[in-house]
Amino acid sequence: MHDAGPTRPTPPPVIAPVIGLLVFAKAPREHLPPLRLRAMIAEAVLQGARLALFSAADCDPDGGTVTAETWSQAGWTRSPMPLPDVVLIVSNPRHAQHRRIERWIRGRTAFVRDFGPDKLTLPALLAATPLARHVIPQRRIEPEAPAAQIADWLRTHGDCVVKAVSGKRGHGIFRIHAGAAGRWSVRKDDAETHFLDATAAAAAVGRRIAGRLGYRAYIVQTYVPSVSPDGRAADIRVHVQRDGGGRWGVTRGYVRLGEAGQAVSNVSRGGYQGPLEGFLGTRQVRPAAELLAEIETLALDVATTIEATFGRTLSELGVDIALDRQDHLWLIEANTHPQSSLHEHDRAVRTIAYALHRATQPPPDDRAIEEIDEAMDDTDA
């Protein structure tokens, strides 16, 4: 009888790292756009990981487990499991119980939680840096006598924008412009009203926002004309993300063009997205290659500057930039949780890679957790 020789030991099964995805107010599959979820599931498999979806209600801090949904070829299954190797916190906590769950997770496993400065905080953050030359002049409107503050801004700075600090996807923005024969116009969304002078225009806007100033912050900001060659509203979005080594990089840069007659470029208002290089090729003052390099550098520098204050759990930003008639770049804002309907897979590649990178990093110490809590509480407030 032939001797088959010594048997080889069976190698232990490879255990795929688990990436958790935490949503607070909804079931995760209701919160995420279907194409984004599909891209993340596929990319997790390609990078040797497994995605587990759960909400705050699915967490059991006493037992140290979560009840999560995972996908296989058989479909979605739901079962208890230990805390994942890393958790992507993809929505904001709504109340005290949510915050307790979030602190429990952050104290016991690696996590990614994107949060950053609002429209008031960001200019102040950049004011003492070389990026200050890209900051659009603005000031907060105080609840007392808002019309007088807007009128004073118009006398000093000319055409302006009045908007809420918390974004409304291009809605509820007032634009005040000087017209012919000393007349002024106020445009809100698709409606435009004309006034005899700047004082009357400022008073009209002041009346509209006065009742909201008790619960929502507003700013008045210098108007930057950022338009396409055919006169449509235009701005630039640069989606920056960390990669599998924790380094910032550009995932996608593109121009956003407003619908004809619209004053904003948001796709949610009927706008369009297009290749950035083609748009920059239409500029008259500076070469497209020079502008592209500065745009990408600005977006990455904004990310690293925000990170220095808000911590290394920040993973991505949508940086919005205006380009004036002299081809000077102006920073509009930097958004966490940016939209990515036309580049979901490109986004997922970096999202999964950075999550796996975070899973290999040592957990923050107790003092670091306290500092993150304080920063998050200030931001959520």
Q: Which tokens is 47 given?
A: 């990078």
Dihedral angle over CA of 106, 362, 241, 330, nearest 10: 80
Residue 375 has pLDDT above 80, yes or no: no
Host H or E run for residue 178: strand 174-178
Domain range annotation of the chain = 16-114+342-381, 121-134+226-336, 138-222
Domain 16-114+342-381 architecture: 3-Layer(aba) Sandwich (3.40)
pLDDT the model gives residue 376 = 54
Neighbours of 154 (CB within 10 A): 22
Mean pLDDT for 246-261 is 88
pLDDT the model gives residue 372 = 58
What distance lies between CA 326 and its chain's CA centroid?
Answer: 27
What distance lies between CA 11 and its chain's CA centroid?
Answer: 44
Reported as a single tens digit per residue, the pLDDT across 177-232 is 998 878 889 988 778 888 888 999 999 999 999 999 989 999 999 999 998 888 88
pLDDT the model gives residue 371 = 55
Percent of the chain exceeding pLDDT 70 equals 86
Residue 237 has pLDDT above 60, yes or no: yes
Mean pLDDT for 142-149 is 95
Mean pLDDT for 70-76 is 92
| Nearest-5° Cα angle at 375, 374 to 380 | 100
Residue 377 has pLDDT above 70, yes or no: no
Q: State the Cα–Cα distance between residues 154 and 148, nearest whole angstrom.
A: 10
Q: State the Cα–Cα distance between residues 208 and 360, nearest whole angstrom.
A: 51
Handedness of CA 185, 186, 187, 193 (dihedral sign): negative
- Among 183-192, 202-211, 278-287, 363-372, which is the least confidently predicted range? 363-372
Neighbours of 153 (CB within 10 A): 23
What distance lies between CA 36 and its chain's CA centroid?
Answer: 15
Q: State the Cα–Cα distance between residues 335 and 320, nearest whole angstrom.
A: 8
Residue 25 has pLDDT above 70, yes or no: yes
The interaxial angle of helices 146-157 and 198-210, nearest 10 deg, is 140
Give 269 or 153, the one with higher predicted confidence.
153
Residue 381 has pLDDT above 50, yes or no: no
Residue 259 has pLDDT above 90, yes or no: no
pLDDT the model gives residue 361 = 85
Residue 132 has pLDDT above 80, yes or no: yes
The pTM assigned to this predicted structure is 0.88
Residue 313 has pLDDT above 90, yes or no: no
Mean pLDDT for 111-132 is 90
* Residues 6+ positions from 363 with CB-CB distance below 8 Å: 109, 110
Q: Which tokens is 314 given?
A: 């920040």
Q: State the Cα–Cα distance between residues 19 and 22, nearest whole angstrom.
A: 10
Q: Which tokens is 176 given?
A: 């005040």
Percent of the chain exceeding pLDDT 90 equals 64
Host H or E run for residue 246: none
- Among 4-13, 16-25, 63-72, 320-329, which is the least confidently predicted range? 4-13
Tell the CATH topology of 121-134+226-336: D-amino Acid Aminotransferase; Chain A, domain 1 (3.30.470)
Cβ(295)–Cβ(354) below 8 Å: no
- Residues 16-45 as b/e (b if ≥16 CB within 10 A, e otherwise) read ebbbbbbbbeeebeebbeeebbebbbbbbe
Averaged confidence pLDDT in the chain: 88
Give 143 or 270, the one with higher predicted confidence.
143
